[in-house]
Amino acid sequence: MMSSQNLSIIGPGVMAEAIIAGLIRNQVLPAQKIIAAGPRPERGSELVERYGIRFTADNAEAVSAADIVILAVKPQKLRTVLAGLRGKIAPHAVVLSIIAGASIQSISSGLEHPAVIRAMPNTPAQIGQGITVWTSSLAVTEAQLEAARLILSALGQEIYVEEENYLDMATALSGTGPAYVFLFMEALIDAGVHLGFPRRIAEQLVTQTIRGSVEYYALKKDHPAHLRNQVTSPGGTSAAALYYLEKAGFRTALSRAIWAAYERSQELGRGKNSQPPEKNSD
Ligand SMILES: NC(=O)C1=CN([C@@H]2O[C@H](COP(=O)(O)OP(=O)(O)OC[C@H]3O[C@@H](n4cnc5c(N)ncnc54)[C@H](OP(=O)(O)O)[C@@H]3O)[C@@H](O)[C@H]2O)C=CC1
Ligand SMILES: O=C(O)[C@@H]1CCC=N1
């Protein structure tokens, strides 16, 4: 519990709500210590009703008494938000950004504030099952690192790294990761329906197959290729299916997709707001 700290969250969207819910659920902070800021009062009322936190439409007001400031706006809004907060954050405070691509240097110079933590969580944070990769500037104190660790632990697992480039990599692999998993699930469920299963049964088969495989892998700590070989009987169904996946370039497609996300994260950091969809195709 860090009940003496005031925490302010700028950008009260999906990820901000996951953080607020995690902090309250895990009793890291009482609701009265949390203030969120964003442009829409209706969104503010929702959060106030749901969590009992405070809300303001004025970002500068939200940070005025903050010990910890979390930045959770979209990358495209970052420049405006930083300009509005410049010189408004107390010198003793720490800033924690979860914004994809935004470097510590850009946040620090935009705010004229040296103590900055950069983190990349993911959406399973909403149920405390996320994973966050994070790093910090030299000006962040031990106590601030401990506070950040407590906050991020409320979202699930956390991994501190020294190398900031790992943040763009984590954005591609784990930050964006749930999107790959949900697409994979959706495709499997649709394939089951295509075979003739009622959707409800296809959903149950796919969900438990993925859940069971993940837990089996976590317990066995065996190489995935070995576990896959156990499923693959000579001349059997798995061999037939895997042949098609390899022929369709399944691994290469995944690898290219993750490189595209990595490059996109780096581009967002350079302030490039959009990209043509085919940019990363071969
Ligand atoms: N979604 C994900 O899986 C992950 C996202 N991230 C990062 O988290 C950040 C937020 O993403 P997400 O929560 O999905 O996005 P959302 O769009 O849900 O949240 C962004 C919030 O910022 C608000 N906002 C817009 N302009 C301002 C402003 N000038 N001042 C204050 N608030 C503002 C928006 O309000 P309104 O809705 O009214 O426009 C909205 O509530 C992004 O930078 C993203 O890169 C990191 C990890 C995972
Ligand atoms: O799509 C995005 O840009 C964000 C960052 C990580 C996950 N979603």
Are 21 and 158 contained in the same domain?
yes
Are residues 25 and 113 part of one domain? yes
Query: What pLDDT is attached to residue 278?
Result: 64
CATH of the domain at 72: 3.40.50.720
**In this structure, is residue 123 part of a structural domain?**
yes
> How far is 219 from 108, CA to CA, in rounded Å?
42
Are 35 and 98 part of one and the same domain? yes
Alpha-carbon dihedral sign for residues 238, 241, 246, 249: negative
Convert the pLDDT of each residue in 89-132 to its tens digit.
Answer: 999 999 999 999 999 999 999 999 999 999 999 999 999 999 99
In the reported structure, the alpha carbon of residue 136 is separated from the centroid of ligand 1 by a whole-number distance in angstroms of: 21
What lines the ligand 1 site, CB under 6 Å? 10-16, 37-40, 43, 59, 72-75, 77, 80-81, 98-100, 120-123, 175
Q: Is 73 annotated as a binding residue?
A: yes
Regarding whether 15 and 74 lie in a shared domain, the answer is yes
Q: Average of pLDDT values for 136-146?
A: 97
67 and 191 housed in the same domain:
no
Q: Based on the number of CB atoms within 10 Å of its own CB, is 12 exposed (0-12), middle (13-18) or buried (19 or more)?
A: buried
134: β partners: 119, 160
Structure tokens at 209: 């197959």
The reply to whether 20 and 154 lie within a common domain is yes
CATH value at residue 214: 1.10.3730.10
Q: Is 193 exposed, middle or buried (0-12, 13-18, 19+ CB in 10 A)?
A: middle
257 in a structural domain? no
In this model, does residue 273 exceed pLDDT 80? no
Mark whether 75 and 141 lie in a shared domain: yes
**β-pair type (116-120, 130-136):** antiparallel
Residue nearest atom 1 in ligand 2 by C-alpha distance: 176
Let me know if residue 34 belongs to a domain: yes
Please report whether residue 184 resides in a domain.
yes
What percent of the chain is modeled with pLDDT above 90? 94
* Pocket test residue of 176, 265, 272 for ligand 2, highest count of atoms within 8 A of CB: 176
The structure tokens 């499997």 sit at 188
Overall number of domains in the chain? 2
ipTM of this predicted structure: 0.98
2 in a labelled binding site:
no
CB 227 within 8 A of CB 238: no
Same domain (yes/no): 24, 157: yes
pLDDT at position 276, please?
Answer: 64
Same domain, 236 and 156: no
> pLDDT-derived band of residue 192, with 50, 70 and 90 as boundaries?
very high
Residues 23 and 150 in one domain: yes
What region, left, alpha or beta, does residue 150 occupy, with left being phi > 0 and alpha being psi -120 to 50 degrees? alpha
pLDDT band at 270 (very low <50, low <70, confident <90, very high): confident
Residue 229 annotated as binding? no
- Residue-level pLDDT at 2: 78
Residues 154 and 36 placed together within one structural domain of the fold:
yes
Q: Check residue 100 and give its pLDDT.
A: 97
Q: Residue 192 C-alpha to ligand 2 middle, in angstroms?
A: 29
Query: Is there a single domain that holds both residue 182 and residue 153?
Result: no
- pLDDT at 277 (0 to 100): 66
Q: Determine the structural domain holding residue 152 and report its residue range.
A: 7-162
The angle subtended at Cα 240 by Cα 237 and Cα 243, nearest 5°, is 145
